[in-house]
Chain A
Amino acid sequence: MNNKEFINELSKQTNQSVGATTKLVNDTIRILEEHFQQNDVVAFSGFGSFEVKKKMERISVNPTTGKRYLIPPKLALSFKQSNVLKDKFNAE
């Protein structure tokens, strides 16, 4: 399911026009971004939770050249599925 199909499906479910749905989705994403920026844990109950995690810097080696690089620390968005979701997909 790509973005277009997703929006179509969503608009059907909420009885909104596709344009309005797109706007709502974008707004939702903006809101999510704001929370990510504040380091909040965003939990969709029954689905999973999003969290921004800090990855430490590390040294990696390019296997072809053997050169060593220092990879800087970074913030990465991670998702963890909830147990409810896991059970849903593993029930069958």
Chain B
Amino acid sequence: MGKITLTTIAEELVARNGVSRELADNFVHAIVETIEKGLREDGLVKIKGLGTFKLMEVSDRGSVDVNTGERITIKGYRKVSFTPDSAMKEFVNRPFAHFEPTELNEGYPAEEVRLEDVGGEDGVNETVDVAGLPESPVSSDCQSDKTDDEELKSSEENAATIGGIAVSEVDEVLEVESKAAVITGTEEVLVPIVNEESVEVEENEVPVAEEPVVTEEAVGIIEEAVVTEGEVVVAEETIEPKVSVSEEEKPSKRGGCGWIIVVLLIALTCGVYYFITIDQDALSDYEAKIEEYNDMMVNPNLEEELGEEWDEEPQNAPTPKMTPGVIKSQKQQAGVDSSEVSTVQSEQQNKVMPTDQESGSEKYCTVKLTELLEAKELKDITPADTTDYIIDGTLVTHELKSGETIILLARKYYGDKRLWPYIVKYNWMKDYNNVAVGQMINIPALKDKSH
């Protein structure tokens, strides 16, 4: 552990090689001189067994004077960098050579484990489990509720297929929406006052009423969605709550009190509808909303069915909620309205409501649901249409300006904001909501995979 100089090395060279002292001295100094000369000539000297010396430019950089606090510029300079070659690297590292990089287990952080321990009997806790583990695969989440998982998957598939259905007539949507409202109304025979309200709402402008709620929900989830007011993005989000809420319902099938909570939620839903009906601002979003609802329909035939027997629907809809063993066919039939109702519920839960009656459990649900939605979002980063395109290099590098979002960039560069996940993926973004003005975003060039 000492400081060795050229002289020492020369001495050792004499002892080792048997050359004269003078030559050794000359030689060692010649090495240094030659390296310098080589660096001056072409900025690079490679010595086998030792490494590479390189002349590097260090550019100017700004800094702050520690004493005065003034901004100063540290001027750029040239520096000699050294990279040991692999033989030398290995030799130096020999004492630690037996270490190897090890993969760390995806250990659950302490809180999540705690939540999981609690979960199992209570439905609400189960949803927490799913929400708490956004990155781990779905299968590992629920050991206890495999069936729930399957249902979730199927509903996700549903949602995916639904997305593809083209926009149909507005009238149909209105019909279904009003039906949904009526359904909620009839379900609330227990709460007659709210029932009246819901009927009123239905008579007035059900669609408008529904729509702002969703947009507000969107605000809760992603500000970007509101900024762009894009149907597609909003649609994506609504699909998510739909799925997650179906999850959230399942627990209620088990627990008896869950049913009561559901009814109360519906009551609250109607109450909020009533208030929101006054809000006319959201009319601009109306078109988008309609399309969204069209997308949400499982099939057009169902609408007709619903139109004929919407009186019966209410009985259909709640039954799957009650029975623990899920009658799948029935559920699929009632899929549209139950999902709609549940979407509405989720919307309700996302907002902290002023008319909160049993605020305790309500808020609990609210928090849970937003967590759940976030988890879903994260999963959804992987685009649904990955198969369609492959990333083919960088198109341009874009500097984010104020008011721009990733989704806006996707619209700008691809003409289709649905392609935003590619940008997120290409830039390794963890949180696509969290972008800064001035951030450089690489826009990937997309190539159609089929071609």
Contact = CB atoms under 8 A, between A and B. Distances in A.
B27 A14 contact: yes
Contact of B37 (A9, A30, A81): A9
B99 A25 contact: no
Contacts of A31: 9, 12-13, 16
B195 to A, nearest CB: 49
A9 B46 CA distance: 13
A13 B47 CA distance: 17
Contact of A33 (B79, B88, B106): B88
Contacts of B299: none
Interface stretch (B49-57, B254-262, B319-327, B341-349): B49-57
A10 B34 contact: yes
A41 B2 contact: yes
Given A10-B30, A13-B33, A40-B2, 18 more contacts: A23-B17, A29-B49, A32-B50, A37-B92, A37-B94, A41-B2, A44-B5, A47-B36, A50-B82, A57-B99, A69-B102, A71-B101, A73-B99, A74-B96, A75-B96, A77-B84, A79-B81, A90-B77
A72 B100 contact: yes
Given A13-B33, A68-B103, A70-B101, A77 B89 contact: yes
A45 B82 CA distance: 16
B104 A70 contact: yes
Interface in A44-92: 44-48, 50, 52, 57, 59, 63, 66-79, 81, 85-86, 88-90
B39 A89 contact: yes
A85 B56 CA distance: 13
Nearest to A61: B104
Given A31-B16, A39-B1, A77-B89, A89 B55 contact: yes
A77 B51 contact: yes
B19 A24 contact: yes
A16 B91 CA distance: 29
Category for how many chain B residues contact A = 35 or more
B434 interface: no
A3 B17 contact: no
A3 B48 contact: yes
Interface of A: 1-3, 5-6, 9-10, 13-14, 16, 23-33, 35-48, 50, 52, 57, 59, 63, 66-79, 81, 85-86, 88-90
B79 A81 contact: yes
Contacts of B36: 47, 85, 88
Nearest to B107: A68
B92 to A, nearest CB: 5
Contacts of A29: 47, 49-50, 88
B102 A40 contact: no
Contacts of A32: 9, 50
B165 interface: no
A86 B77 CA distance: 8
A69 B103 contact: yes
B80 A69 contact: no
A20 to B, nearest CB: 8
A43 B28 CA distance: 12
A91 to B, nearest CB: 10
Contact of A1 (B42, B88, B99): B42
B103 A79 contact: no
Contacts of A3: 46-48
Given A24-B27, A39-B1, A48 B80 contact: yes
B102 A70 contact: yes
A74 B89 CA distance: 10
A66 B9 CA distance: 48
B117 interface: no
Contacts of B9: 28, 31-32, 42
Nearest to A20: B19
Contact of B92 (A59, A77, A89): A77
B96 A1 contact: no
B435 interface: no
A46 B1 contact: no
Contacts of A81: 79-80
30 contacts: A3-B47, A10-B30, A13-B30, A13-B34, A14-B27, A14-B30, A23-B17, A24-B19, A25-B47, A27-B13, A28-B27, A28-B28, A32-B50, A33-B91, A37-B92, A40-B2, A41-B4, A43-B4, A46-B32, A57-B99, A66-B135, A68-B103, A72-B99, A72-B102, A75-B93, A76-B93, A77-B92, A81-B80, A85-B36, A89-B80
B28 to A, nearest CB: 7
B199 interface: no
Contacts of A28: 9, 13, 27-28, 31
Contacts of B51: 77
B23 interface: yes
Contact of B38 (A9, A16, A72): A9
Contact of A2 (B4, B34, B46): B46
